[in-house]
Amino acid sequence: MDFAAFIDSLQYMGYGMAGIFVIIGLMSLVVMLLRKLFPVKK
């Protein structure tokens, strides 16, 4: 068991999850914007 390596790798969990939420959050916002810009024509 390499606890030092485990502790060291925790930073990647933080960066990874933060990164993915930022990118996916942005995608989500852009989709909302696209739906406002291009609504369904009735």
Partner 1 sequence: MIETLLRSFLEPTATQWMQYIAMWIIGGILIYLAIKKDMEPTLLLPMGFGAILVNLPFSGAVTQYVNGVAEEIGPLDVLFNAGIANELFPLLLFIGIGAMIDFGPLLTNPKLFMFGAAAQFGIFFTLCMARLFGFSMVDAASISIIGAADGPTAIFVSQFLESGYAPAILVAAYSYMALVPIIQPPVIRLITTREERRIKMPYQQADVSKAVRILFPIVITVIAGLFAPKSVALVGFLMFGNLLRECGVLGSLSETAQKEFANIITLLLGLSISPKMQAEAFLKPETLLIMLLGLVAFIFDTVGGVLLGKLFNLFSKTKINPMIGAAGISAFPMASRTVHKMGLEEDKQNFLLMHAAGANVAGQISSVIAGGLILAFFG
- Contact pattern for partner 1 over residues 11 through 40, marking x by CB under 8 A: -xx-xxx-xxxxxxxxxxxxxx-xx--xxx
CB of 18 to partner 1, least distance (A): 10
Which helix (H) or strand (E) covers residue 33, if one does? helix 3-37
CA distance 31 to 29: 5
CA distance 28 to 21: 10
CB of 22 to partner 1, least distance (A): 7
Residues in contact with partner 1 by CB under 8 A are: 1-3, 5-6, 8-10, 12-13, 15-17, 19-32, 34-35, 38-41
